[in-house]
Structure 1
Amino acid sequence: MGYITHVRGEFAIEPPLTWTEIKASPFEAVGRGKYGAIDIDLDLRVEETSVDTEEGTLVRRTGTALVMREIDEYRARDLVKQVQTCIDVFPGHTFTGRLECEGEENTDIWRVIVRDGRAVRIEPRIVWPDEDGDQ
């Protein structure tokens, strides 16, 4: 057992990744050798569309979002680093959105966002209202 963090949310990818980019990345078995033993807890949402061609139906796969894998007891130790690795693997694409993270303690809430091409951990600021009754 260890400290658990629940993560939800996603990063939309624009323009969507092509199948060539996906299969050469650490998200596919072909790309894993190129990147070595990268342990990534994130996954690509891959959408498939059918396109009629003269030669038959073509299935087009595109990567539209970066999401968390289904992990029961996630530790989130290097989540920001993993998001940055994914951004670096796919230059020329924009990642928008956020991952909402909530730890076991009620004050342990934070987000991962992308700012200027860099994955950043941000934490909320708690502000007390004035004691004069102004809120």
Structure 2
Amino acid sequence: MGYRANVTGEFAIEPPLSWNEIKASPFEPVGRRQYAAIDIDLVLRVEETSVDTEEGTLVRRTGTALVMREIDEYRERNLVEQVQRCIDLFPGHRFTGRLDCEGEENTDMWRVVVRDERAIKVEPRIVWPDEEGGGR
């Protein structure tokens, strides 16, 4: 099972991934992979552009971002590890952005960010403001 969480956001990828990198990846979104069998909750966003060539129209596919795949009810398992796995698969590409996560409890919030090519979980700090009038 796992803890239910709402996840929003994405990691932009620079330079974008080539089609050869995308199709060989477990994060490939086209549907040829059995996600449930390999526990992957993230996919690459693939953008297509048409380029006219002498032989006709060429469709160029590039991976521009790492995003959550569409899941009815996300059970947070190993999101940080999955982001790191994707970073490790594509050396020479920079991942920028974040995933904002909110769990079942209203105070349960965290983010997944990338710092120095490492995916990390960041939790907010709750700070009480100083009380006015010195009433301690």
Instruction: Please say whether Structure 1 and Structure 2 have the same fold, judged by a TM-score greater than 0.5.
Output: yes
Superposed, 1:91-130 pairs within 5 Å as 91-130=91-130
Provide the C-alpha distance between the structure 2 equivalents of 1:54 and 1:40, rounded to a whole number of angstroms.
39
State percent identity of aligned pairs.
Answer: 82
Structure 1 residue 56, shift from structure 2 partner:
0.6
The aligned amino acid for 1:13 is: I
Provide the C-alpha distance between the structure 1 equivalents of 2:97 and 2:27, rounded to a whole number of angstroms.
20
**Could you say which residue in structure 1 is the equivalent of 2:70?**
70
1:8 aligns with 2:8: yes
Provide the C-alpha distance between the structure 1 equivalents of 2:39 and 2:53, rounded to a whole number of angstroms.
38
Q: Deviations over 1:72-118 (max 9, x none)?
A: 22121200001100111111100000000000101100000000000
The aligned amino acid for 1:52 is: D
Moved over 6 A (4+): none
Provide the C-alpha distance between the structure 1 equivalents of 2:40 and 2:93, rounded to a whole number of angstroms.
19
Determine helix, strand or coil for the equivalent of 1:4.
strand
Determine helix, strand or coil for the equivalent of 1:64.
strand
**Could you say which residue in structure 2 is the equivalent of 1:21?**
21
Provide the C-alpha distance between the structure 2 equivalents of 1:62 and 1:41, rounded to a whole number of angstroms.
20
Query: Over aligned residue pairs, what C-alpha RMSD do you find?
Result: 2.1
Report the TM-score, using the length of structure 1 for normalisation.
0.88
Runs of at least 5 residues in structure 2 that lack an aligned partner in the other structure: none
